[in-house]
Structures are given as C-alpha cells and as structure tokens.
Amino acid sequence: MMKLVIAADHGAFELKESIKKHLDEKGVTYEDCGCYSKESVDYPRFAYQAASKVAKGEADFGIICCTTGLGVSMAANKVKGVRAAVCTNEMLAEMTRRHNNANVICMGQNVVTPQLANKMVDIFLSTEFEGGRHQRRVDLLTAIENGEEI
Ligand code: RB5
C-alpha cells in the first residue's frame, strides 16, 4: 500500500486538516508530521520532517503546505532525493508527476481552495511518471543535486 506523509506550518494547518479529512473519507492512510495547531511555527522544520521521510523511502509521497506553498517547497527541495512541486491547478498536479516524477506536492492555503487542493491530491497520487525521455531529465536533476557539472 502507498505510504503518505503530510505536513504544514501554522499558515496551512486548516488546509492540512481538510486534506486529512478527504484522505480519511477515501480510506487513504498517512502519517501527519505536524504542525498540530495554529500556533506560529517555522515552516522549514515541518517540511523537513515530511520530506526526509520521502527521501529515506519511509514514504512514497508527501503533501506539504504553508501559506503560499513556496517556503515549504524550498525547504523540501533541499532534501536530497526530493522533487517537490508547488501546484496551483489540476494540470500542474498531473504534469509534475508525468514529467518530473515529483514525490512531494506543495500547496498554499491562501492560494488554493480546499476543494481544489483535494482534487490536486487525488490527481497527484494517481498519476504515473511517464519515464522515457523524462527519466533522462530527472536523472539530470539528480546529477545537479549531486554537484555534478551537466
Ligand atoms: C508563514 O507566515 C509563511 O511565511 C509561511 O506559511 C509560508 O507561506 C512561507 O513561504
């Protein structure tokens, strides 16, 4: 069964809870890496908690949210092995799986509606990576991450 982690800072606590409810209704299990209230926290810590589980193979995919989606995506993308994409519409959620083999989707509570977030999560989790020429490009992302000249 697919393993999923979810995390957010205070700026997206409500969005995280709403996505969790959606996943619960679908019977999809996940690990909640916090935060656990609307009290102000530092987004890199929560992005790291979820992203590092994806990097270690403890989770297949991560859903990480903040007010904008931007800060958590920056934090997550600094974890080796993570390909995090900020998504703001259904097409992006689909294409970042098909072409980028993204393993983390980032969203902003002040950017997307809860309904759109749920739809993007469904698309992200059900879309396969196309491989082929896109594998070569994803391999180049890994090379950059490893400090190689490309
Ligand atoms: C927190 O105020 C806010 O900066 C954070 O949620 C996020 O949007 C950062 O990029």
* Stretch 42-71: mean pLDDT: 98
Give pLDDT, residue 1. Answer: 85
Give dist(CA 55, CA 150) in Å, integer. Answer: 23
Q: Which atom of ligand 1 is nearest to the CA of 68?
A: 8
Asked, as a colleague might, if the bond just before 35 is cis with ω within 30 of 0, I would say yes
Query: For residue 149, which amino acid is it?
Result: E
Residue with CA nearest ligand 1 atom 8: 67
Q: What's the chain's length in residues? A: 150
Question: If we measure between CA atoms, which residue out of 131, 106, 101 comes closest to residue 5?
Answer: 106
* Stretch 32-47: mean pLDDT: 98
Q: Per-residue pLDDT tens for 2-20?
A: 999 999 999 999 999 999 9
Question: Is a pLDDT exceeding 90 seen at residue 130?
Answer: yes
Question: Is a pLDDT exceeding 90 seen at residue 120?
Answer: yes
* Stretch 118-122: mean pLDDT: 98
Told to judge if 66 belongs to the known catalytic residues of this protein, a careful annotator would answer yes
| Contact residues of ligand 1, CB 6 A cut-off | 9, 11, 43, 66-68, 70-71
Question: Is a pLDDT exceeding 90 seen at residue 146?
Answer: yes
Query: For residue 115, which amino acid is it?
Result: Q
Residue with CA nearest ligand 1 atom 1: 11
Q: Which atom of ligand 1 is nearest to the CA of 11?
A: 6
Give dist(CA 124, CA 34) in Å, integer. Answer: 21
Told to judge if 99 belongs to the known catalytic residues of this protein, a careful annotator would answer yes
pLDDT averaged over the chain? 98
Give dist(CA 106, CA 70) in Å, integer. Answer: 8
CA of 9 to the centre of ligand 1 (A): 8
Q: Exactly one of 33, 65, 66, 87 is catalytic; name it.
A: 66
Give pLDDT, residue 84. Answer: 99
